[in-house]
Amino acid sequence: MVAGHSLGSVGGLVKGHGTENDFLILADLDGRMALSSSAVRALCDRHSGVGADGVLRVVRTELANEPDVAAQADEAPFFMDYRNADGSIAEMCGNGVRVFARYLRQTGLIDGDTKVATRGGTRSVRFDGESVSVDMGPAVFRPERPTVVLADGQSVTAIAAVDMPNPHVVVELPDDESLAALDLSSVPSVSPALPEGQNVEYIVRVGPHALAMRVHERGVGETRSCGTGICAAVVAAAGAVRDSATWTVDVPGGRCEVSFSEAGTVILSGPAVLVAEVELCAEWLPTHR
Ligand SMILES: N[C@@H](CCC[C@H](N)C(=O)O)C(=O)O
């Protein structure tokens, strides 16, 4: 890992967030770093590390050592290697990709709208002032309709399981009070669980095209926002009715907007903020490889 570089010099560790879903951005442009899951866990630990929901490693796409990613190099100059705080790998991160794009732009690695390579495919990104919009691709409904147990022991059948392309289970609750009362401090009991595990979104309809949502993320725990989860929630709530309206989704960390493109893909818009440059202490590094 790199310590002591400024954001402008494209190196080091940068902290950022999208609706308070927070990330550590690690520049490894030549793709030489062997980023272990234990290093990710150590970095993301909020007590003994820097603290974040996940790590975004920045690699030139043609130098990514995953063939499905390197194949995106003609379209997308940089690969977002996303890791959850527990060190696990995920296909996609909707808040992360906006923050990743903000980082690329602020460091001068790109100078405008771009495409980002991810394990879930290439994503188009458009800058619009404070907001960043991403074409998140198609949502795919899964056949499963699992049951999720709430803290009071009540079981609720999910309204949908949706791949974005990471797996989501969406549960609808009757009102704001039920949403506020949820205890998401442990992994939700989901039956049958999806084979790859799942992110679980709990939603309340607060208007014709408006949701409130909390989320328990696979590999992280409760987070203040989840971009792919927000998309899955809107897809589940909209069902077959996909009109041209823009949906708003309020999460504990802020608000994102979701709409559908003419091609039927899901467009996610929301803030992306870079917060700090972090210089790791030389003494800390060798023990956290
Ligand atoms: N916070 C992300 C989703 C990150 C991946 C997720 N925890 C998973 O394992 O699928 C987002 O904003 O989409």
Residue 93 falls in the annotated catalytic set? yes
pLDDT at residue 4, rounded to an integer: 37
> What whole-number percentage of the chain has pLDDT above 70?
94
Superfamily of 7-137+272-288 according to CATH? Diaminopimelate Epimerase; Chain A, domain 1 (3.10.310.10)
Residue 18 Cα to ligand 1 midpoint, Å, equals 12
Ordered by start, the domain boundaries in the chain are 7-137+272-288, 140-264
ipTM of the complex in this document:
0.99
pLDDT at residue 243, rounded to an integer: 87
Residue 92 Cα to ligand 1 midpoint, Å, equals 6
108 or 1: which leads in pLDDT: 108
Q: Is the CB of 226 under 6 A from ligand 1?
A: yes
Q: Is the CB of 213 under 6 A from ligand 1?
A: no
pLDDT tens-digit readout, 237-274: 999 888 889 999 999 999 999 999 999 999 999 999 99
Q: Is 12 annotated as a binding residue?
A: no
**With contact defined as beta carbons under 8 Å apart, do 115 and 124 qualify?**
yes
pLDDT at residue 289, rounded to an integer: 66
Ligand 1, atom 2, lies closest to the CA of 93
CATH code of 140-264, in short, is 3.10.310.10
pLDDT tens-digit readout, 95-139: 999 999 999 999 999 999 999 999 999 999 999 999 999 999 999
Residue 226 Cα to ligand 1 midpoint, Å, equals 6
Report the pLDDT averaged over residues 205-223. Answer: 98
Q: Is the CB of 198 under 6 A from ligand 1?
A: no
Which of the residue ranges 62-76, 106-120, 140-154 would you say has the lowest mean pLDDT? 140-154
